[in-house]
Structure 1
């Protein structure tokens, strides 16, 4: 198995966390539950097959999304098909980072996957073909960098209010009430929420809830024993009841069930069929 990551140069580095490349992974499970973190990814399958996801709303039907897909910002878990060994390359965006490239409000892809061909047409096809033609992993990363710069439909800048808010929200736990942060914007509460949804894909409140959930996962992933009340308080929950409610809403599992699973790794849980 080969896993590589790469942080692009400026100006992309202000919008992209990293590029990643995954080759030769064989999961012991045919499906994996993927937990939400509100992030957005582009995924390109370089093995010649389609990207398959499981439709939980339709009796577990396998849905094929072509050879490239955008995973919109999720606030609920979804299931990926891991039954076939594949080689994939992807882009993991920073919060709000995909907006200059998407050419549409980001909240329109909330909780969904969309084929890149449907979004970008021939540009998506060209990106995929060029990735197939490049030989080394480093060359693929360089090609992704060039393609994204070319794809940007507007200057690579973030709305000042969104930029300020994200800096505050990414401090965990959030030290001030959400209303205090929004009060410093100089724009109306309603207008800020609209802009934030357009660029990040989630409401500010939902984004902060997901950040707390991810902080919980970070704290327990390497732990041998867990005091759930201590974890809840450390991550900014008012009480254990709200913590459990959020955990179940985001993961489809209760905290104890998740922690007891030996088949888990960060944001992924194996599924036996």
Structure 2
């Protein structure tokens, strides 16, 4: 396995959390991809295809946006053998999208459908580049459509930290309905679902930090009402019980190998 990661330059830093290249020897199969609430841009340098199984099977060319998800999806780990990727900050992807981020929700969207010819030729450009990650950084810098939305950034941070939707809206002087519309357009998820996904991510980080999980303690520390609430949320957001959670490795906490391989169309996502 080889991984190269870089932090973007000043122009992209408000929009992009991290970007890099990953290479690994993964056989074909199926993995659960757990929700993070983030948008990712992925370019598959090994094969001109990306696939995802959620509410319906999705297959696009080798470059695409992976939208924010409110639940688990199924992916083929073999498509991660050689990828260049960009992980956007909350609300950051909207600066590169002609439409709103809500158009990406729970989806896998071919880059050609978003950027036209530039999207259709991006993979070939990266294949011929001496440094594909830096080449992608230059492309993104040239495609900025707008600046960051400070209000949405603040809302996402508050929800990430565990604030309620009502408290977040009140802090901004908005109604909860206005927050919902702005958040869905800029982030891609409803505020409540985003907050639940980010709390789930805090839980996964704690679980993979080492040692046998004390679920009752983790429920309190991560903001769940009690252990039963944690179990219900875990099942809703991952399709698994906490005891069945076996990530590929601690560094890949959002990837859970599946056995046996499920049929196409398995996986689910729901709004709350």
After TM superposition, the runs of 4+ consecutive aligned structure 1 residues lying more than 4 A away are none
Asked if structure 2 preserves the Cα contact closer than 8 Å seen for 1:29 and 1:272, the reply is no
User: Unaligned stretches of 5+ in structure 2?
Assistant: 261-272
Q: Distance in 2 between matches of 1:255 and 1:210?
A: 15
Asked if structure 2 preserves the Cα contact closer than 8 Å seen for 1:33 and 1:80, the reply is yes
Q: Which residue of 2 aligns with 1:161?
A: 151
Q: Distance in 1 between matches of 2:48 and 2:142?
A: 26
The DSSP-based 3-state class of the residue aligned with 1:13 is coil
Asked if structure 1 preserves the Cα contact closer than 8 Å seen for 2:94 and 2:187, the reply is yes
Q: Choose the corresponding residue for 1:246, options 219, 233, 237.
A: 233
Q: Choose the corresponding residue for 2:133, options 141, 145, 152.
A: 141
Q: Which residue of 2 aligns with 1:110?
A: 105
TM norm structure 2: 0.88
TM norm structure 1: 0.87
Q: Distance in 2 between matches of 1:248 and 1:238?
A: 15
Asked if structure 1 preserves the Cα contact closer than 8 Å seen for 2:160 and 2:199, the reply is no
Seen in structure 2, the aligned counterparts of structure 1 residues 177 and 51 have a Cα distance that, compared at 3 Å, is closer
Listed as ranges, the matches of 1:252-271 within 5 Å are 252-258=239-245, 261=246, 263-264=248-249, 265-271=252-258
Asked if structure 2 preserves the Cα contact closer than 8 Å seen for 1:26 and 1:84, the reply is no
Asked if structure 1 preserves the Cα contact closer than 8 Å seen for 2:50 and 2:79, the reply is no
Shift of residue 89 of structure 1?
0.4
State the aligned residue count: 258
The alignment yields a C-alpha RMSD, in angstroms, of 1.9
Shift of residue 82 of structure 1?
2.2
After superposition, the C-alpha distances for 1:44-85 in whole angstroms (9 at most, x for unaligned) are: 1112431233x3556xx6x53111111000111111112467
Q: Distance in 1 between matches of 2:48 and 2:152?
A: 38
After superposition, the C-alpha distances for 1:200-227 in whole angstroms (9 at most, x for unaligned) are: 1111111111111001100011332122
Q: Distance in 2 between matches of 1:223 and 1:129?
A: 41
